[in-house]
Amino acid sequence: MNISYTVEMKKPQTHFFQITMVVDEVGEDSVTATMPVWTPGAYEIADFPRHVRNLRVVTGEKKPLPVQRKDKASWKILNGNVRSFKVTYEVYANELSVHTSHLDSSHGYINGAGMFLYLDGYKDQVSEVNIKPPQNWKISTGMEKTGDNKYRAINYDILIDSPIEIGTHRSLFFEVAGKEHEIVLYGSGNENEEKLKQDVQKLVESYYGLMGSLPYKRYVFIYHLVNEPDFFGGLEHLNSTSIDVYSQTFAPKDEYNKFLSVTSHEFFHLWNVKRLKPVELGPFNYQQEVYTTLLWLSEGVTNFYTWVMMLRSGVATKEEYLEHLMETIRYYDILPGTAVESAADSSFDSWIKLYRPSPNNVNSYVSYYLKGEILGMMLSARIVEATNGSKSLDEFFRLLLDRYNKDGKGFTEKDILGALKEVSGKDFIEFFDKYVRGTQKIDFDDELKRIGYNIKRGYKKVDNVEPETKAFMGLFVKGNGGKFSVEAVLEGTPAFEYGINYKDELVSINKQKFGDRYLKNIREDFRRFKIDDLKDYMPGDRVKVHLFRRGLLTDVDVVLGKAPFEYYKAEEIDDDAFRKYSEKFLIG
């Protein structure tokens, strides 16, 4: 069987892609064409077929063939003795994200899972793709190029794992280990192209040093620069990545670190997920949820390497690394859900909790990104400690790559435990019982001492004096157009006990209008939501909170509690301990 696709954008301003799928040498009298309902790397049901319309099937003589809907994602084609036919359809693409496709007058972006049908039983077929862009638009993709605007994928998995950017974007190029890397920039902001290119190259070079090879012929970084401050996200692919960033994120440095961190994270996925993956994640079933308890390793430990490699490459300083680590730990300590759900269960629940969060997520869930990053730190410190600095998590990942990348079958938790023991000589079963499958409270003071640090906790200064305590209610709040609504209520806090609710609109405190002065960032690198900051009061004070609830004005009396510490600071206490840790793990 031969399969090819033609992609057209006849009127890009209408957001419709026109797709023609040509199928030759069909052996059956009927086949089923199917579109995925999710895309690998994003563990949520997206129901891509809802964007398909006008699906038709015709013979080479343009005679229509009957088509029957089987379910929300599949069409049964009754071709009879016809051995070649065309499937034509349109895809509406008007959501700009790394998980979806997008088309307008400025560009086209294709995430293949929501664009290309496959024939059941034939996902292993080679696919040819011919793209017909509007005049003066160019094409950037990691897919193998076979001619002008023509590409080939050796199977369907590779086809939809090769995002495509089409438009008038800028392209920057560099080489590492003799391999070309393309940086695609759609949109513009406050970026410095030369610095951006140099820093991305430094990251690639550091990962090359870590893993010893670059497992691709060519790699493409696709960046969408958009004018939304909270617009950040990335999606890994086998030979490329797609990343959405705020257009003004390239300065100052603390903002630029967001760009560098998402780039570092997605690039490490080249190995951890795309070539090393939990056994449940392959081969892919595109029609239903795929469950694993190991996303804490696949995503969370990738988060840990994100900043380690920024430090090793020189794009971040030791001080910036430690500040990030302390903010991660401080945020973890704030969330009640860390005591309720394990890293393993968090991984399993990604489909219904991480991607479909409820207002109670903060109390019943912990992100496997967050917990996994902390577990990465804990594991790395223990391996260095057990081997007296001769080995680290680097050897663990290289061992996994050598052992479980060859057959593509993936690894299990048992395999992880075996590799950890082989590298360190230490049994990690108890560790997993406590911290991976369990919810035992983490003693971060003890964990930091392993690498030569104390944690100093406190509150930010007011009038050059650091207060001993601060008051709060326990609210996560989101502001929009001068209105402030409750996004979450932390369990065990005054707001929870006295009955302030999700979606309550905060009006005033003791008759003083509620506003930004009563709020502060939850963490320095996350500003979408804020936490209440009642600097005019003390713990134990009683305040009257006026709010709108479902359109009705009401008030709630609240006795304020003690606010979580505003900063954690790592203070070096043991030069030898840190040197042993940093020389092997942080420096590499």
For 306-322, how does the pLDDT look when each residue is reduced to its tens digit (9 = 90+)? 999 999 999 999 999 99
Both tokens assigned to 203: 């990251």
Domain 471-564 indexed as CATH 2.30.42.10:
yes
Q: Which fold has domain 271-452+573-588?
A: Neutral Protease; domain 2 (1.10.390)
pLDDT at 29 over 90: yes
Q: How far apart are CA 421 and CA 417, in angstroms?
A: 6
Q: How far apart are CA 166 and CA 164, in angstroms?
A: 6
DSSP calls for 73-96: TEEEEE-TT---EEEEEEEE-B--
Contact assessment for residue 445 and residue 454, using Cβ atoms and an 8 Å cutoff? yes
Both tokens assigned to 483: 């209105």
Q: Which CATH number fits domain 169-252: 1.10.10, 3.30.2010, 3.40.1010, 3.30.70?
A: 3.30.2010
**Can you give the residue ranges of every domain in the chain?**
2-166, 169-252, 271-452+573-588, 471-564
How confident is the model at residue 527, as a pLDDT? 65
Contact assessment for residue 222 and residue 170, using Cβ atoms and an 8 Å cutoff? no
Residues 6+ positions from 537 with CB-CB distance below 8 Å: 471, 543, 560
Residues 6+ positions from 437 with CB-CB distance below 8 Å: 342, 343, 344
How confident is the model at residue 53, as a pLDDT? 98
Residues 343-379: pLDDT tens digits? 999 999 999 999 999 999 999 999 999 999 999 999 9
Q: How far apart are CA 588 and CA 307, in angstroms?
A: 13
Residues 80-113: pLDDT tens digits? 999 999 999 999 999 999 999 999 999 999 999 9
How confident is the model at residue 580, as a pLDDT? 75
pLDDT at 382 over 90: yes
pLDDT at 3 over 80: yes
Q: Which fold has domain 2-166?
A: Immunoglobulin-like (2.60.40)
Per-residue pLDDT band for 575 (boundaries 50, 70, 90) equals confident
